Amino acid sequence: MSRGNPYIAAMISQADSLAFVKMHGAGNDFVIIDSRARPGGVMTPELAQAIGDRHRGIGYDQLAELRASDEADLDLYFWNADGSQAGACGNATRCVAARVMDERQAARLSIRTARGLLQAERRDAQIWVNMGPPILDWRGIPLAQACDIDHLPLPGDPAAVGMGNPHCVHFVDDAEAAPVATRGPDVERDPLFPEATNVEFASLIGPDHLRLRVWERGTGVTLACGSGACATAVAGHRRGLTGRRVSIKADGGRLEVDWREDGVWLSGPVAHVFDGVISAAFLAGAR
């Protein structure tokens, strides 16, 4: 957060604290801040980074900020723990959808993100979100140069898929043994990805059933990644490994992906962990 930010100073003087909600989807954990009553929101890269510190802040894989929308039921913005912004986050979208559906006693929501206008539905106690069609053009993913997105010119023969954020999917014999923590950061910053990339390692463990481990751009190793699960399912189908509906076992739980004509639908567990309050002293120190 920039020093002397007048909006944040006003926020701190008008309210001594900032409420938040902690949720997770299959172990993919989020801080959720409701800024629908605050025009322009409250988040900045510096504040997002301070809150994301698991030792001095709260800690999260991504932060989701709700804002009022003229085009949908709500707008949703995503932040990584390093203070950078993310264009998409499937599990955070599902968590927010579950909470707002409960608030409104609704079974459907429209959510505007940088990815576009997404639809969320509650079906048989499960929250499904349409993450939109996959991006399969090298420019849109984006890549730095034209190449075969199903067989990138990188070690391990990975595939690239865009889900509103870039993904580099490696298919390996055993995802349990994949070098996620060491190979992940190298691939994340490879020059082929001008905006960096999320990195997935997946192995086939049964018909239409993949084991997935993830290195998330701007965060590191996470227990699950919704957009990464979507990208992996798309890449797996394009490689001929799976059908269009895939069960994915992540470190933190099971996700379901259904690639339909209208987009890639994602579902899985959602949990409300706790409600909390960020102190005025912390907010002032993060300025």
Residue 33 lies in a domain: yes
Residue 152 lies in a domain: no
User: Quick one: pLDDT band at residue 287, thresholds 50, 70, 90?
Assistant: low
225 is catalytic: yes
Residue 148 lies in a domain: no
Average pLDDT rounded to a whole number, residues 195-213? 98
Residue 142 lies in a domain: no
Share of the chain above pLDDT 70, in %: 94
115 and 216: one domain?
no
| CA pair distance 41, 241, nearest whole angstrom | 43
E strands along the chain, which residues?
A: 17-25, 28-34, 62-67, 74-80, 85-86, 108-113, 116-123, 126-130, 159-162, 166-171, 198-206, 209-216, 220-222, 245-250, 253-260, 263-268, 271-279
Residue 276 lies in a domain: yes
User: Quick one: pLDDT band at residue 68, thresholds 50, 70, 90?
Assistant: very high
Residue 90 lies in a domain: yes
Give me the pLDDT at residue 129, please. Answer: 97
| CB contact at 8 A, 126 and 120 | no
AA letter at 153: P
* Among 89, 95, 168, 230, the one annotated catalytic: 89
- 70-108 burial string, b = 16+ CB within 10 Å, else e? eebbbbbbbbbbebbbbbbbbbbbbbbbbbbbeeeeeee
Give me the pLDDT at residue 158, please. Answer: 98
Residue 73 lies in a domain: yes
Question: Number of folded domains in the chain?
Answer: 2
Name the pairing type of β-strands 245-250 and 220-222. Answer: unpaired
10 and 126: one domain?
yes
Find the distance separating the first CA and the last CA of the chain, reported in whole Å. Answer: 5
| CB contact at 8 A, 165 and 198 | yes
CATH of the domain at 169: 3.10.310.10
Give me the pLDDT at residue 190, please. Answer: 98
User: Quick one: pLDDT band at residue 10, thresholds 50, 70, 90?
Assistant: very low
126 and 29: one domain?
yes
98 and 170: one domain?
no
* Among 95, 147, 168, 225, the one annotated catalytic: 225
230 is catalytic: no
Average pLDDT rounded to a whole number, residues 86-110? 95
What is the span of the domain harbouring residue 230?
Answer: 159-261
